[in-house]
Copies of this chain bind each other. A is one copy, B any other.
Amino acid sequence: MVASRGVRHDSMRARNLAVVLQAVHRQGPLTRAGLAERTGLTKTTVSSLVAALLEAGAVSESGAVRDGERGRPGVAVELSGHRVAALGLEVNIDYLAACVVDLTRSVRLRRTRPADNRGSDPAGVLQLLRDLVKEVTAEAEGAGLRIIGAALAVPGTVEGGLLRNAPHLGWRDVRVADLLDLPCAVDNEANLAALGELWFGSGATDFLYVSGEIGVGAGLVVDGTVFRGTYGLAGELGHVVVTPDGPACRCGGRGCLEVYAGQDALLGGLDSVAALVNALAAGDRRALDACARAGDALGVALTSAVHLLDPGRIVLGGIFAPLFPWLESPARDVLGARLGQMRGAPPALVVSSNGADAAVLGAAGMVIQRIIADPAGVLGL
């Protein structure tokens, strides 16, 4: 609740540009007349705003709309994929990734670099990322795209652009954004994967995205907006208490969800998720038990999460996606039994369709979200 600034003529126009662009984004291709009706602005004003957005390459006209109605057909305006683009970045434990996405949400470019970043030096890793950015940017520019902004996903807690603690990288209090050449937002992997689900997923605008990785995280999206809490640390599902006197967790607590559903607990000695899936498919007792335990624990932790966060639905992603067939029924049973009387029906439990790319894609989605929320500021209108 920062003291907000007054509205001036230029910010009124800035806001109206955003309103029009948002309407185009949300309600698909629309004519100027349709936009006027939906925004409450006059046709004149909308025409002027659309002209500015066309000029900036944010929208394009897509030929006449012949809708069978009588009267002069309108010209549909839609988001343009030809000029404005967003750069999504990710530093993770065993790879670096980048992607370029245009305003129509088409993924135009995707690059991954395997790397071993455990206990690494931030400067060195970010140098590699910088190289990757350079390469990807050059290629995008070759395709006529203008990269308007970037966002970076990291596996750790982020507070106001500062990477506080990434246990698996071994990084602490790193100003990652400052080490790149371009202005870049930074956020937690789980939050950005949630945005990935929002922008490249099923179309739902209210859900809890559960990201199974080495740790377990979650990102809550309510009405199309990520909920971050007071310090940006919300959504740490991995350390929700499942069994108060359970096994010790690396966080200092006991019986956290991560102890049962973290990657190490699930793999139980196997060396990859693929191996685990094979073992499960083959009916391996130990693997099945580990999954059943994880599913139960997930159900318990999600029960608490549903009571506290009230998500519209629950989307399982990361390593939980390939394991979904084995996790689903225990988790759903626990959730259904425990939520019981309290609400109509428990939230739907579904699997994410974005694979390992969720976080990079979400990073690009966040940039697109910003462009649409403030085209005047971002595009210099």
Contact = CB atoms under 8 A, between A and B. Distances in A.
Contacts of A242: 241, 244
A150 interface: no
Contact of A239 (B206, B227, B233, B307): B307
Given A1-B205, A39-B5, A311-B230, A252 B305 contact: no
A301 B300 CA distance: 12
Given A222-B230, A303-B253, A241 B338 contact: yes
Identical chains bound together, number:
2
A6 B16 contact: yes
Contacts of A231: 310, 312, 343
Contacts of A244: 242-243, 300
Interface in A1-58: 1, 3-8, 12, 15-16, 19-20, 22-23, 26-27, 38-41, 45
A315 to B, nearest CB: 13
A242 B38 CA distance: 48
A241 B340 contact: no
17 contacts: A3-B27, A6-B40, A7-B19, A8-B40, A12-B12, A230-B310, A230-B312, A234-B310, A236-B308, A239-B307, A240-B307, A241-B304, A244-B300, A250-B341, A251-B340, A252-B338, A305-B308
Interface centre among A7, A39, A305, A307 (most CB of B within 10 A): A307
Given A300-B244, A311-B230, A5 B340 contact: no
Nearest to A305: B308
Contact of A307 (B38, B237, B310): B237
Contact of A7 (B12, B228, B307): B12
B340 A253 contact: yes
Nearest to A9: B12
Contacts of A1: 26, 205, 223-225
Nearest to A22: B4
A337 B251 CA distance: 10
A224 B340 CA distance: 32
Given A240-B308, A252-B341, 4 more contacts: A6-B40, A236-B307, A241-B300, A241-B301
Contacts of A22: 3-4
Contacts of A157: 343
